Chain A
């Protein structure tokens, strides 16, 4: 896939080829990043509510971007219906709190139930390919939104407020939501990291590059796609529950709105489709753009669209590939072919 500068230079026969997965530099980097991730749990004890709330929003966007990238970037499933699981996660949280579950366990259960829904939906949706899959997932999201609109117990079209969080002080409430968001994000990134690091990683990357060729080589495409779809359902369900916790009020037209798919596509496209780090970068870019330009109204939305189009045309692999080509170390996810022969460049993919 990508060409990378030398990470290691094994000595010996000039024509000898070696496959390496990690170097000491990349292992150290991973360790440092892991420490940073764990260290982020300390943010609510060190910074004020604003930093906590803003980072919570950012992490929710990261979860969404990472999940859409897993679907489209690795699984080859271009879904524009992930808002089905976002809305389902949010409304499942409401439903559970109405039935006596306290809000935070309800959010975890809602994410799990979104994964169950995804498993059921996958049986239908994975029969579809390409554009059909995109339309199919969207139809499911719209249908689910309409069902909620008809349910007066869940507020119907009026929308509904999440009760039960008022018993916490605002600082503690924001801190708990932050910790839960960070836990979800790290869990999802961890799961994806393992999927890519294990044998499934090579299979996923083969599916990403060409699904039919991968199948012909003996890659078991269906179970992998199923697993990715369920994982994405879980992640989007978690994001929905967290969006609800962050905003306390939802309406079906908004939480099942297709704008979430647009945001996800934007983040992944700008960050880097089919890369581990790209969607995280994309989420940060989207978050900053929203902070800086959202007050421009319609022009902000036009700008977002224009940026997405420009990236699709001129930098289809996203911003991360530009960054990663210049980075001396990479995460130990791919396979590197290394040789000291000057005419051959190292391969990473």
Chain B
């Protein structure tokens, strides 16, 4: 957030209002006597008719802070290009990107979204990473009639988690999403797991939260259809400290494959207890955590050989249409600039800005929120995660993007201890496969 944005929140009239709030003391109730009065609408544009404002909400602190780690870098790339302005319909617009921290909390996420909508008057909202941030921001945008593009929430958790019915073909008018769904997980798992010979018994730790519930209702049946039997000790609550009963069940059933969608601290707890209590499956397939090298490194030796999945890696053969940066350059640029290892968040975060610029250009008037929303519904755009094309299903608001299976291995060279290698690319065969899945601690 730039200093000028802060200043806008505190216009003199606001100060006066807040001060008059002091005068609330000692008052008796008064009915809503003025409720019949007309309500003042907002002044259109607020004197910034030539400036397009884009809001960006992501978790920078809190439980999902790891997702927001590369945001500063991606925002820098986007601002470099957008700072030069966009020419749309022969008219030049300045573009301003305002980023906010959703603090991994739904109430805070909604609050910053409302600030962006009402105080900064953004023309387009972008949001990413976990239902806790994305779902409330999407709700605020849909209610306020502001177009919004979001990513990095399994699309079922985003679509059905916010009240859409399975029969709805297009439940929302202003909010659009691109992300993998349960089908892509099933593709990845059923392609990758046969690379190691197992008894096909999958012990699952699916929590009672947005992701866990979506996975339980949709992924379980798909895996069973593919010939796997599910050993499900039931939904656990995030933050559980003792997993002995689940571990005992997995051992008793001899689940040679283990799959979980936990919060990172919960997986660390579970996995250490599993090691202590002698549960060692042949395949350890984690999602939601283990996305980033830092989380896997934190597990120490227990982390090497854990299988995961990626919605972007530097080996994706795609280029950002807005910045012209290839996936390889994106990963290398981040490592060079920050000294940290690439993370798969880089791809979708930059893709958001590709989609944003394409949507603004596709609309007849980029300041017309309804027109921008309509433009997104049929948008086709090239991004680091692939070609996104809305309107082709699974429903009118969602593009299902690939997620590809891979494994964390000890790096053979370079400055980083771990390497993520792709073991399958069933959901997008254009992406090269680097290795075969190896049994855990074989």
Contact = CB atoms under 8 A, between A and B. Distances in A.
Contacts of A185: 24
Nearest to B144: A170
A37 B1 CA distance: 33
A284 B105 CA distance: 22
Interface in A150-173: 150, 152, 155-161, 163, 165-166, 170-173
A247 B136 contact: yes
Interface residues of A, number: 86
A243 interface: yes
A117 B136 CA distance: 28
Interface in B360-389: none
Most chain A C-beta atoms within 10 Å of own C-beta, residue among B29, B38, B119: B29
A307 interface: no
Contacts of B17: 43, 47, 51, 55
B33 to A, nearest CB: 6
Given A48-B118, A248-B139, A249-B106, A281 B22 contact: yes
Given A156-B208, A157-B238, A254-B132, A45 B40 contact: yes
Nearest to A55: B17
Interface in B259-274: none
Contact of B118 (A40, A49, A152, A160): A49
B145 A170 contact: yes
Contact of B13 (A51, A165, A251): A51
A161 B132 contact: no
A249 B135 contact: yes
17 contacts: A41-B33, A41-B35, A43-B17, A48-B42, A55-B21, A158-B210, A159-B135, A183-B29, A186-B29, A187-B29, A193-B28, A247-B136, A249-B135, A280-B24, A284-B21, A291-B9, A294-B103
B26 A331 contact: yes
Interface of B: 1, 6, 9-10, 13-14, 17-18, 20-35, 37-43, 60-61, 100-101, 103, 105-111, 114-115, 118-119, 131-132, 135-136, 139-140, 142-145, 157, 161-163, 207-210, 212-214, 235, 237-238
Given A47-B40, A58-B21, A253-B209, 13 more contacts: A50-B42, A54-B119, A149-B237, A157-B210, A159-B106, A165-B143, A170-B145, A189-B27, A191-B29, A193-B27, A277-B22, A284-B22, A295-B1
A159 B161 CA distance: 7
A180 B25 CA distance: 18
A10 interface: no
A36 B25 CA distance: 10
Interface string A35-70: 011101111111111110111011100100000000
Interface of A: 30, 32-34, 36-38, 40-51, 53-55, 57-59, 62, 146, 149-150, 152, 155-161, 163, 165-166, 170-176, 179-180, 182-183, 185-187, 189-191, 193-194, 243, 246-251, 253-255, 257, 259, 276-277, 280-281, 284, 287-288, 291-292, 294-295, 297-298, 331, 333
Contacts of A257: 105
B24 A158 contact: no
B59 to A, nearest CB: 10
B140 A248 contact: yes
Contacts of B103: 294, 297
Nearest to A188: B29
Given A157-B207, A193-B27, A295-B100, A248 B43 contact: no
Contacts of A277: 22, 25-26
A107 to B, nearest CB: 13
A331 B208 contact: no
Contacts of B109: 247
Contact of B31 (A48, A163, A183): A183
B106 A166 contact: no
Nearest to B164: A161
Contact of B28 (A156, A190, A250): A190
Contact of B209 (A53, A157, A176, A183): A157
Nearest to A259: B105
Most chain A C-beta atoms within 10 Å of own C-beta, residue among B9, B26, B135, B210: B26
Contacts of A287: 18
Given A47-B40, A157-B210, A170-B143, A33 B106 contact: no
Contact of B106 (A41, A62, A194, A251): A251
A236 to B, nearest CB: 15
A173 B143 contact: yes
Contact of B107 (A37, A40, A45, A254): A254
Given A157-B210, A284-B22, A295-B101, A50 B30 contact: no
A158 B28 contact: no
Contacts of B111: 57, 246-247
Nearest to A295: B1
Contacts of A53: 114-115, 118
Contact of B43 (A44, A48, A176, A190): A48
Contacts of A189: 24-28
B106 A36 contact: no
B60 A157 contact: no
A326 to B, nearest CB: 15
A37 B143 CA distance: 29
A53 B143 CA distance: 14
B368 to A, nearest CB: 16
Contacts of A331: 25-26
Nearest to A49: B118
A65 to B, nearest CB: 12
A49 B207 CA distance: 39
Contacts of A179: 32, 34-35
A157 B131 CA distance: 11
A161 B140 CA distance: 10
A161 B30 CA distance: 31
B101 A62 contact: no
Contacts of B35: 41, 176, 179
B24 A37 contact: yes
A45 B209 contact: no
B64 to A, nearest CB: 12
Contact of B60 (A50, A163, A297): A297
| 9 tightest Cβ-Cβ pairs between the two chains A and B | A247-B110, A190-B28, A36-B23, A37-B27, A249-B136, A157-B209, A187-B29, A157-B208, A50-B118
